[in-house]
Chain A
Amino acid sequence: MPETIEIVVNGERRGVPDGTTLLGLLAALDLDARAVVVEHNRRIVRRPGLGDVRIGPGDSIELVHFVGGG
């Protein structure tokens, strides 16, 4: 069993298994990668690269989408 590391997703602390990729995180959160924009430590990671980026301890991740606005 991999160790659990602590990260911050959308401002909230969460634990994920060490070695989790950004794509893996989206899957664990039941989010469709096509409908989400991922910012990893302030850097946007495009869809094709999500599976290549491993999440490290203390990483900050923002998952955003479009909502109604003026």
Chain B
Amino acid sequence: MATAVDLVRDTPFTIGGRTFHSRLMVGTGKYSDAAAMVRAVQASGAEIVTVAVRRIDLDRRRPESVLHHLDPGRYFLLANTAGCYTAEDAIRYARLGREAGFNEFVKLEVIGDEETLLPDVQGLLEATKVLVREGFTVLAYTNEDLVTALRLEAAGAAAVMPLASPIGSGLGLLHPLWVRTIKRRLAVPVVVDAGVGTASDACLTMEQGVDGILMNTAIAQARDPALMAHAMRLAVEAGRAAFRAGRMPKRDVALPSSPTDGMLD
């Protein structure tokens, strides 16, 4: 008989040769303060935590490094290239991030439009090729376009990260079909990045069969970030388990759950 542990045992979640237990990755931006961020990160159960590379404030007006609050021995720090609008800038930030950080991973963003923060897919492909050549493990933030996802994989991306909806929008999973299709067609891990608003969004996203989710705003901007982080952790686990369990077929008519015979006269 299967034990509870057998029931929940999943295939390992491996990116770029490293295996992780949690399929939820979280960002560290947009929190009211560092203590709230740390509580939320802890509650999320995430191992992979994203950070950004920015100028040090020489006048000490801006907060100190995030490393003052997160132990790099405990969390796997994933540097991003957020805010970069050209391949050249993204490559520069990636190199700085690798130098500041503790690993060769980069969450590559090359943004093409300020209003939607949609990726510049041409710049993204270009930067992916260069960074892969330089030994980076590239996790590429992209849209839900299958052809771009296939090209990113061919260019050597270690993971492809289609959006659920625009960054910071909280609109949830707009195109389940395309995210599902990308997952079905790619061999590398698919991690949905951006757009999740609440736990049901995370659950629905995981039910598409993707390998994981990265989110920031949904947790950071919740009224109680740590509680939302807890909810997201459960939702990601629930969605993953539901996907693996295989849902029942939908039907348009009712089918009784209780026996129709043995009824009283």
Contact = CB atoms under 8 A, between A and B. Distances in A.
Contacts of B92: 42
Nearest to B194: A70
Contacts of A67: 29, 51-54, 62-63, 65-66
Contacts of A64: 53-56, 96, 100
Nearest to B28: A68
A63 B101 contact: no
A37 interface: yes
Given A44-B95, A44-B96, A68 B66 contact: yes
Given A35-B65, A35-B67, A44-B95, A66 B100 contact: yes
B217 interface: yes
Interface residues of A, number: 22
A70 B58 contact: no
A66 B67 contact: yes
A41 interface: no
Interface string B17-46: 000000000011111001001000000000
Contacts of B66: 66-68
A11 to B, nearest CB: 7
B9 to A, nearest CB: 30
A4 interface: no
A63 B62 CA distance: 14
B80 interface: yes
Interface string A38-58: 010010101000000000000
Main secondary structure of the interface of A (DSSP, over half): strand
22 contacts: A9-B58, A10-B55, A37-B53, A37-B99, A42-B92, A62-B96, A64-B96, A65-B53, A65-B65, A65-B67, A66-B51, A66-B53, A66-B77, A66-B79, A66-B97, A68-B31, A69-B52, A69-B80, A69-B82, A69-B216, A70-B27, A70-B28
Interface of B: 27-31, 34, 37, 50-56, 58, 62-63, 65-67, 77, 79-80, 82, 92, 95-97, 99-101, 167-168, 194, 214-217
A22 to B, nearest CB: 13
Contacts of B77: 66
Nearest to A45: B99
Given A69-B29, A69-B80, A10 B37 contact: no
B58 A29 contact: yes
Contacts of A46: 99
A12 B99 contact: no
Contacts of B62: 67
A27 interface: no
Given A9-B58, A62-B55, A68 B99 contact: no
A63 B54 CA distance: 8
B216 A70 contact: yes
A17 to B, nearest CB: 17
A44 B91 CA distance: 12
